[in-house]
Amino acid sequence: MVDDFLGLDEREWGLVGVAANLVSVSMQFWTLVSTKNATSFSPTFIGFMTLLNAWYAFVAFLHDNIPFMVSALVFTAYNIVVLAVYFTASMKKKQA
């Protein structure tokens, strides 16, 4: 296994991932909350991504890779919010 890549070790790359994911999720979350529209998302895909990111978080926990675990949990939480917005809008549309 490579001890480092581009001068960064596994933990440092985990921190880079956390920062990148937080920036990405923050912009996506802002758009989702401001528009309250998740119709462009596939609930099947987002559900799969939720499970996959939760699995990544679990594996990261087992490997004591806390930065990667945090990053995966952030995406898991975001995906749950996307599903909540999607299904809330769907329910409101059915009631109307």
* CATH label of the domain that carries residue 82: 1.20.1280.290
Does the residue 36 lie in any domain? yes
Does the residue 83 lie in any domain? yes
pLDDT in tens, 14-71: 788 888 888 888 888 888 888 888 888 889 999 999 999 999 999 999 998 888 898 8
Range of the domain at 23: 10-91
pTM as predicted: 0.76
Does the residue 73 lie in any domain? yes
Number of structural domains (the chain) is 1
* Cα gap 27→14, rounded to integer Å: 20
Which structure tokens are listed for 5?
């890549």
Does the residue 4 lie in any domain? no
Which one-letter amino acid corresponds to residue 16? Answer: V
* Cα gap 68→86, rounded to integer Å: 27
